[in-house]
Structure 1
Amino acid sequence: MISDTAFLAHDHAPASTPLKRGEAAASAPTPGAVAASVNAPAPELGILRERFSALFQRIADTAAEREHTRTLAYAPILWLKDSGFTALRVPPQWGGSGVSIPVFFELFQDLAAADSNVAQILRPHFGFIDRLLIDRDAATQAHWLPLAGQGAVFGNATTETGVGAVGHLQTTLEPDAEHTGQWRLNGRKFYSTGTLYADWVIVVARSTTPGQADDVVNAIVPTELAGVERLDDWHGFGQRLTGSGSTVFTDVLVPESSIIRFPRQEPTPLVAYFQLVHLATLAGIARAVQRDAVTYVQARKRVFSHGSAALPKEDPLVQHIVGELASTAYIAHLAVNDVATHLQAIAEQRRAGVEVSRATLDALELRTAQAQVAVVEPVLRAATRLFDVGGSTALEESRRLDRHWRNARALASHNPVIYKARSVGDILLNEAEPVYYWHVGTKAN
């Protein structure tokens, strides 16, 4: 296991200084500026694509080499921060672009096509921003959204390994006996996606106060704070650069102002949003598979003696496979756009002050689960069929075409698709309610 401090000593460490707590208040916009920025129109998709196209190409051009040498993606994350990409969903009054959900996910698919590792790194970051928007607590938004608007990146420390009971968190947050209004955070997390690259980490912990029932809360702490240790010990064969390893918290001092008590167990569009990030990343992988197949075939001159043309690109069998790959990318894109459009409709309804019905939220959750079931297997199949367009040169490690299948397989394993398919069937057959929250652990016999 290698600590984060070891990586920070290398050339690919981030060059920017993480934003500190309190910086948002120091640079808060004036009331007049807020009023003007609220009414400012969000940039159109075409303008944004033009703005980010060169950056996405730069990320794509270096993706295979990063994968081959396992060079952590500090540089691409810094480029995205500096470009304003990480603030796309932040409302203008807090320094962001305030783009709609469909526009954001179009751009997110572009990023995922360039490098799905980099897209997955930012899943907790964008999920946190939209959670603040969905929760609609003005004070919490005013505290954290300006930081995101200035470029701060948020990571994740939610899941724990081991044999703990389902739903029981071993990470604790306890009142500090010596400091009023301060808490002590202790625990160990795994699957800490993005935290190696983040300025802040969102920690799900069990709040324990004498004489009170335990509560599940989110503690948000700077990643460079004393007692926070980030380990690059992710050992999965996919998503090798996402920093999804361990984060250890040892007597980390957390002020009350950095603890968020989000509503829990209530139906919410946030679950669909987080799943949509996975779907958009899969759609980006499908587009990358199509792109790499076309690039490979167009440049290839060698053919098999029993082939059907003088050039691979003229071979009907190769053309057929490329057509299949492109069709998978097309359907995956449609699925992402469909879910994003429905999420946007719900966001606009809530923004207008109309409370969203349970039936609408249930329909969104069903739609998102169906999209996952529909997209996962075709994308995995496309990432395998990619190798049928050529010969042994497609297997060269320098190309790292295998990364597409490995990364897609890892994504499909996070929220296992078999349970989504079962949930869809149970809803349709038995009018069951969608499962909005789930946990991992062991069940008593």
Structure 2
Amino acid sequence: MSAHIIADDAEALAVAASLAAEFRPGASARDAGRRLPRAELDRMSASGLLAVTVPADHGGADVGARTLAEIFRLLATADASLAQIPQSHFAYVNVMRRQGTPEQREFFFAELLAGRRFGNAQSEAGTRHVQDIRTRLEPRPDGSYVLTGVKHYSTGALFADWIPVLARTGDDRLHVAYVPSDAPGLTVVDDWDGLGQRTTASGTVRLDGVPVPADRVLPHHLTFEGPQLHGALAQLLHAAIDTGIAAGALAEAAEFVRTKSRPWFESGVETAAEDPLLIQRFGELALCTKAAEALLREAARSVDAARADLSDDTAAEASVAVAAAKVQAARAAVEVSSALFEVSGTRSAADSLNLHRHWRDARTHTLHDPARWKIQHIGRFVLNGTRPPRHGLL
């Protein structure tokens, strides 16, 4: 596999905008038929977009958080499933940046620049809570390991070259094992049946005695022993996806009203786009979306600032800013994608139009982690100066 190497932030944004325009026309058909976007992901890999956070000293563009968030927002305006698939990819590139040895970074950054993709095998079902990771990484006499466990919601794994697996060792410490997708004992099951994000293939990964060389394991527990931006960056990308869903739904609603809707007979106007009550509602929805976009930019700025001067205080400020962006983005995505039908009228509810994909994607993606706890951490920080916890989900 070979890939273009993107030079800087400006080129990264231009490539993302071009890919979004390319992916948008087929998004509805892919969703309706649950046609998995392998060709589109190959285009994304070949474009170099998946390597834009590789450090400059390894040949990458090393783009900032603001650029990365905008990349995800642009992609999500076109296809929320496509935007979701590489979210974990960038999270685990970040783990490699922070915890990889020089040799590990040299190997994996070269893989990324060649267009290779990371998936994820992180979440587990049936455990006490999301942090209760029971997949085990058992040492062998030769220094290597064996992985055993079952993972769920493994977005990206089906399309990945490497699958980062979250697991605990005998001392209960958290590690990440980077496993090739064709490793013996590893099975990726395409059993995702979500009502939204239908083409993410966020199914099950089974690990039955998977062998892992010692040099493919990273001590992820060290990430949380000091100030960190792992959670802030991962959540920033989720916020960007929700913000993009809102913008995409708003644009499609406006196009539908301009070209297909009839005015209400009491309005006294010739076209639906002239209806003063619809104009008012579109203004409200635009404000909701623009607030999400503004908070997303501010959150990304905070992450970039903390990355340049990382401390407990800057990390906390970044996490709280990202939490605020995520809450507003989730609200905007659900409200705007639902209001699409309110402003567009009965004809917009036709199943053949598949306009409900925006709401289904929003409703599914915003369940990723509860906004109510983000509001709690925002309130604690503002009122009492309590820094948010270092658990990687904020």
Is TM > 0.5 for Structure 1 vs Structure 2?
Answer: yes
Shift of the 100–431 alpha-carbon distance from structure 1 to 2, 3 Å rule, reads closer
Q: What is the identity, as a one-letter code, of the residue corresponding to 1:151?
A: G
Contact 1:325 1:386 in 2 (8 A): no
Contact 2:262 2:271 in 1 (8 A): yes
Shift of the 240–429 alpha-carbon distance from structure 1 to 2, 3 Å rule, reads same
Find the aligned partners of 2:247 and 2:36 in 1 and give their Cα distance. Answer: 23
Instruction: State yes or no: 1:206 paired with 2:206.
Output: no
Correspondences of 1:305-384 after superposition (within 5 Å): 305-349=265-309, 356-384=310-338
Contact 1:376 1:412 in 2 (8 A): yes
Query: 1:271: which partner in 2?
Result: 231
Find the aligned partners of 2:236 and 2:173 in 1 and give their Cα distance. Answer: 28
Query: 1:283: which partner in 2?
Result: 243
Give how far 1:136 is off.
Answer: 7.1
Instruction: State yes or no: 1:43 paired with 2:1.
Output: no
Query: 1:190: which partner in 2?
Result: 152
Matched residue of 1:202: which SS?
strand
Instruction: State yes or no: 1:246 paired with 2:232.
Output: no
Q: What is the identity, as a one-letter code, of the residue corresponding to 2:108?
A: W
Contact 1:84 1:96 in 2 (8 A): no
Contact 1:174 1:185 in 2 (8 A): yes
Find the aligned partners of 1:228 and 1:199 in 2 and give their Cα distance. Answer: 13
Aligned-pair identity in percent equals: 31
Find the aligned partners of 1:407 and 1:311 in 2 and give their Cα distance. Answer: 30
Find the aligned partners of 2:58 and 2:349 in 1 and give their Cα distance. Answer: 47
Contact 1:185 1:250 in 2 (8 A): yes
Matched residue of 1:221: which SS?
strand
Contact 1:289 1:382 in 2 (8 A): yes
Find the aligned partners of 2:139 and 2:95 in 1 and give their Cα distance. Answer: 26
Contact 1:273 1:343 in 2 (8 A): yes
Instruction: State yes or no: 1:176 paired with 2:136.
Output: no
Contact 2:257 2:273 in 1 (8 A): yes
Q: What is the identity, as a one-letter code, of the residue corresponding to 1:247?
A: V
Find the aligned partners of 2:91 and 2:9 in 1 and give their Cα distance. Answer: 22
Instruction: State yes or no: 1:139 paired with 2:103.
Output: yes
Query: 2:64: which partner in 1?
Result: 100
Query: 1:8: which partner in 2?
Result: none
Instruction: State yes or no: 1:399 paired with 2:353.
Output: yes
Shift of the 166–233 alpha-carbon distance from structure 1 to 2, 3 Å rule, reads closer
Structure 1 residues 60-118: Cα deviation after superposition (integer angstroms, max 9, x where no partner): 11111111111112121111001111112223443433222212222221111111111
Contact 2:99 2:218 in 1 (8 A): no
Taking structure 1 as the reference length, the TM-score comes to 0.82
Give how far 1:330 is off.
Answer: 1.6
Instruction: State yes or no: 1:130 paired with 2:94.
Output: yes
Matched residue of 1:429: which SS?
helix
Matched residue of 2:94: which SS?
helix
Query: 1:77: which partner in 2?
Result: 41
Q: What is the identity, as a one-letter code, of the residue corresponding to 1:358?
A: D
Contact 2:121 2:164 in 1 (8 A): yes
Instruction: State yes or no: 1:385 paired with 2:339.
Output: yes
Find the aligned partners of 1:438 and 1:50 in 2 and give their Cα distance. Answer: 30
Give how far 1:258 is off.
Answer: 0.5
Instruction: State yes or no: 1:421 paired with 2:371.
Output: no
Contact 1:239 1:407 in 2 (8 A): yes
Aligned length: 390
Contact 1:221 1:254 in 2 (8 A): yes
Find the aligned partners of 1:167 and 1:52 in 2 and give their Cα distance. Answer: 33
In terms of Rg, which structure is larger? 1
Contact 1:95 1:150 in 2 (8 A): no
Give how far 1:367 is off.
Answer: 1.8
Shift of the 103–429 alpha-carbon distance from structure 1 to 2, 3 Å rule, reads closer
Instruction: State yes or no: 1:87 paired with 2:45.
Output: no
Find the aligned partners of 1:384 and 1:376 in 2 and give their Cα distance. Answer: 12
Shift of the 206–130 alpha-carbon distance from structure 1 to 2, 3 Å rule, reads closer
Contact 2:243 2:332 in 1 (8 A): no
Matched residue of 1:413: which SS?
coil
RMSD over aligned CA atoms reads: 2.4
